Amino acid sequence: MVLAIMWGLGVFFMAFAFARSMIDKVDNVRRHGTNVMFYAGVTAFVAGPVVSTIVSIAA
């Protein structure tokens, strides 16, 4: 369950950052928040199995 939530959030953040970067290219403006959001998504996606394992061991 935790794994599915974290992977879902990770994919959502990465897709949202990708969409913002497409808009930024149209506006010809680079925003720092887009990179932060993308890396937050990657971190959530990669850390999902680790957090899921920790939760299952602790439970």
Rg for the chain, CA atoms, rounded: 14
Domain interval for residue 19: 2-58
pTM value? 0.66
Count of domains observed in the chain: 1
Which stretches of the chain score pLDDT less than 70? Answer: 24-33
What's the pLDDT at 56?
A: 86
Residues composing the chain: 59
What's the pLDDT at 4?
A: 84
CA distance 2 to 17: 22
What's the pLDDT at 27?
A: 63
**44 C-beta neighbours (distance < 10 Å), count:** 20
What's the pLDDT at 26?
A: 65
What's the pLDDT at 2?
A: 78
What's the pLDDT at 53?
A: 87
What's the pLDDT at 50?
A: 87
